[in-house]
Amino acid sequence: MKQISSISGQELRDMFATATGWLEKSAAEIDALNVFPVPDGDTGTNMLLTMRSTVEESYRAPDHSAAGVANAMARGALMGARGNSGVILSQFWRGLAQGLNGKDAITARDLADAFQRSTEAAYKGLTNPVEGTILTVIKDAAAAARAKAAAEDADVVSVMEAAVEAAAQSVADTPRLLKVLRDSGVVDAGGQGLYTILDGALRHLRGEAAEMRFRKSQIIVNPEASAARLPQMVGADEVPYGYCTEFMIKGTGLSPERTKKRLRTRGESLIVVGDDTTIRVHIHSLDPGSILRYGTRLGTVHQISVRNMDEQHQDFLEMQKDKAAAGEISIVAVVAGDGMEEVFSSLGAVIVPGGQTMNPSTRDLLQAVESVPSEKVIILPNNKNIVLTARQVPSLTGKTVEVVPAETVPQGVAALLAFDYEAKLQTNVRIMTCALSSVKSIEITRSVRSTRLGDIEIKKGQPIGLLDGDLVAAGNDNLAVVNDVLSRIDMEKAGIVTIYRGGEAGPEEAEALSASIRERFPQLQIEIVRGDQPHYDYIISIE
């Protein structure tokens, strides 16, 4: 990959827009890492909502300079910050904007210096900074970035790589610094969230957007941490958690430092951030009313949120019990071709080789179901000739098995992308089945004999095109057949086209096919994925 010496404000925005989508895929799993009392237990969700506000505001930047976009992102983060983790994340953006002040573009050294300013801002926002949290991860990532930026061969990508690598190691180390994490067998949720954001930004810089559609960010584990234990119920004689109180103050002549000093003795987990016109407050208090009354004396109070942590802690415990009782859900998918197997495996499926002309037997599917550790299994046939076979499996096993009747590979991918790791089996079956209708499937293969089908004259060996399983076109070459099939689809409603290249189709032809589609439909996002599937030169997904 060529070096990137600097990036613009627009590229900064696009990096973290991609990172927000990357975070969204893992938000629920990051929520599940939390070992502290809710409502700060929805760390992944809070960070996601904060990042959405950050990116949305970046599109309203007054100019496209690095400084202009960074300042807009910092403003969006402050206005949209949710929860403890979201407020700390807003300070990351505040520091980054300060570090990029006056910059039109961002060099490797600029980026490293901005990360250092982010560290300082994040620590400054907290009354009692705790190591082994997102703060430590910000600090370690910044230190690695600065060290790399000092090297002669440093560029923006290598600095980001150093930051991401250090963030991953720092997250893995958080249980060593915090006993509560070590005892629960998890890493810090906020640190994991920050790592996911930085990792998504780096992947954008590397040009990996196409691959990201079929993957999720890594949830880091610490092998030395003990097995996770269910949190204990709150006893009657224990001190109550109180209320998580969040609000924003708008006014003139405000002082975050003065406000922090006044609130320091009124609760726990105090965070006060902002400037002389806008302050955001997060505090855990037994008396939220007095906190809010103090805020109204400083200015107008907005975005008030008061949540009873004792009630939410009980809900959290019940949710954890339900998860433990429900167990995990495994997915068995039928696919053919090394590339296709890689796509489905990266999305968490157990593979049964098979497809057109090589349909697996009921025994093959049953063995796959019995081989997974989960007691609940979903089968994706991905071929209409395998659906009936798959439906024989539930009666042959003691496990609970459901079939989501995907008849094509694109339908199978759509179903997998819709899978919700936090949802129950029947809910997943419903949402995955609904997802089947969200895509159109084009399959390009070759006729095995001469025939006539309706008004289509077909010669042996001629390329033919199927739309959602129905043969609708024949022609002299693959490109002509694809164009013929596309003309039968309302492409104005399409947004993404994914071309899965078969084992006998060359990369040059695939690129020519992509260019032809892009020329006809410039609004589309087109991706080429190595599928290596037999018999079909191309399988094309239209979303």
CATH assignment at residue 457: 3.30.1180
Residue environment code for 69-94, b if the CB has 16+ CB neighbours within 10 A, otherwise e = bbbbbbbbbbbbbbbbbbbbbbbbbb
Last residue of a domain, one of 315, 344, 363: 315
Closest CA to 51 of 29, 27, 20: 20
Q: Does residue 174 share a domain with residue 121?
A: yes
Interval 294-315 mean pLDDT: 82
Of 5-14, 265-274, 351-360, 366-375, give the range with the top mean pLDDT.
5-14
Question: Coil, helix or strand for 320?
Answer: helix
Interval 26-46 mean pLDDT: 73
Q: Does residue 502 share a domain with residue 454?
A: yes
Q: Does residue 15 share a domain with residue 135?
A: yes
Q: Does residue 279 share a domain with residue 147?
A: no
Average pLDDT over the chain, rounded to whole? 86
pLDDT of the residue at 448: 79
Interval 51-73 mean pLDDT: 93
pLDDT of the residue at 28: 82
Determine the structural domain holding residue 293 and report its residue range.
243-315
Question: Coil, helix or strand for 265?
Answer: coil
119-123 long-range contacts (CB < 8 A, ≥24 apart) are 119/95, 120/95, 121/91, 121/92, 121/94, 121/95, 122/88, 122/91, 122/92, 122/95
Report if residue 123 sits inside a domain: yes
Q: Does residue 294 share a domain with residue 248?
A: yes
pLDDT tens for each residue of 379-389 = 999 988 889 88
Q: How confident is the model at residue 240 (pLDDT cuts 50, 70, 90)?
A: low
125 in Cβ contact with 88 (< 8 Å): yes
- Residues 6 or more apart whose CB falls under 8 angstroms from that of 541 comprise 409, 410, 413, 414, 439, 440, 441, 442, 496, 497, 498, 500
Provide, rounded to the nearest whole percent, the portion of the chain with pLDDT above 90.
48
Task: Look up the CATH number of the domain holding residue 307.
Answer: 3.30.70.3100
Is the pLDDT at 371 greater than 60? The verdict is yes
pLDDT tens for each residue of 461-476 = 899 999 988 889 999 8
Report if residue 234 sits inside a domain: no
Q: Does residue 41 share a domain with residue 101?
A: yes
Report if residue 219 sits inside a domain: no
Specify the DSSP element, H or E, that contains 39.
none
Q: Does residue 267 share a domain with residue 133?
A: no
Question: Coil, helix or strand for 86?
Answer: helix
Q: How confident is the model at residue 223 (pLDDT cuts 50, 70, 90)?
A: low
pLDDT of the residue at 265: 87
Phi and psi, residue 127, nearest 5°? -70, -45
Last residue of a domain, one of 284, 315, 346: 315
Task: Look up the CATH number of the domain holding residue 379.
Answer: 3.40.50.10170
The more confident residue out of 142 and 264 is 142
Q: Does residue 82 share a domain with residue 16?
A: yes
Interval 10-25 mean pLDDT: 93
Closest CA to 116 of 84, 85, 156, 147: 147
Report if residue 229 sits inside a domain: no
Q: Does residue 152 share a domain with residue 23?
A: yes
Q: 400 has which bridge partners? A: 376
- CA 409, 411, 416 angle in degrees (round to 5)? 95
Interval 342-363 mean pLDDT: 81
Q: How confident is the model at residue 319 (pLDDT cuts 50, 70, 90)?
A: low
Specify the DSSP element, H or E, that contains 260.
helix 256-263
pLDDT of the residue at 230: 41
The more confident residue out of 96 and 358 is 96
Q: Does residue 51 share a domain with residue 72?
A: yes
Q: Does residue 370 share a domain with residue 249?
A: no
Report if residue 252 sits inside a domain: yes
- Residues 6 or more apart whose CB falls under 8 angstroms from that of 56 comprise 76, 80
Report if residue 59 sits inside a domain: yes
Q: Does residue 106 share a domain with residue 59?
A: yes
Q: Into how many domains does the chain fold? A: 4
Report if residue 221 sits inside a domain: no
pLDDT of the residue at 232: 41
Last residue of a domain, one of 289, 315, 341: 315
**The model's pTM:** 0.62
Report if residue 65 sits inside a domain: yes
pLDDT of the residue at 430: 94
